[in-house]
Amino acid sequence: MNSTNKMLSLKKKLLKQREELLSEAEHTINTKLVTEKESFPDPTDQAAAEHDSNFLLRLRGREQKLLKKIDEAIARIDDGSYGVCESCGGQIGIKRLEARPVTTLCIECKTQQEEDEKRQAG
C-alpha cells in the first residue's frame, strides 16, 4: 500500500472514530436528560444517579479532548504535515500511526517525554 493510500486509510479510521465518539456523546446527553427528569424519593438513589452522571460527564470530557486530537490529525493529513514528529521533525513510523493515529510524536520523542515526566514526578 503506498503512502497516499495509507494516509487515506488512516483518515477514514479517524473519521469513523470521530463519528462513534459523537454518537456516544449524543446517547449520553439523551440518557442524562431522561435521568434528570426522573425523581428519586430516596436520597441514596438520587446521590447514586448524580455520581453516575458526574462520571459520565468526566468520561465525555476525555472524549472531547480525543475529538480535538482527531480533528487536528485530520487537519494535518489534509495539509500534508501528518506523520511528522512535532518535537524532532522526523517521520513517525507507520506502525505507530496505525496504533495511535492521533500521535504527534515519534516513538523516540514520546519515550523521552515519558522519561522526563517520570523524573519530574519522582
Per-residue pLDDT, 57: 67
- Kindly report the length of the chain: 122
Instruction: Give the chain's mean pLDDT.
Output: 85
Q: List CB contacts of 85: < 8 A, sequence separation 6 or more.
A: 91, 92, 104, 105, 106, 109
Beta carbons of 85 and 109 less than 8 angstroms apart: yes
- Give the predicted TM-score (pTM) of the model: 0.72
Q: Which of 77, 111, 104 is nearest to 4 (CA)?
A: 77
% of the chain at pLDDT higher than 70: 79
Name the one residue in this structure whose C-alpha cell is 446527553. 29
Give per-residue pLDDT as tens, 68-79: 999 999 999 999
- Domain with 116, as residue range(s), is 83-122
- Measured between alpha carbons, how far is 67 from 40 in angstroms, rounded to an integer? 34
How many domains does the structure of the chain reveal? Answer: 2
45 in the same domain as 101: no
71 in the same domain as 14: yes
pLDDT grade, residue 122 (50/70/90)? Answer: confident
Mean pLDDT calculated for residue range 44-69: 75
88 in the same domain as 76: no
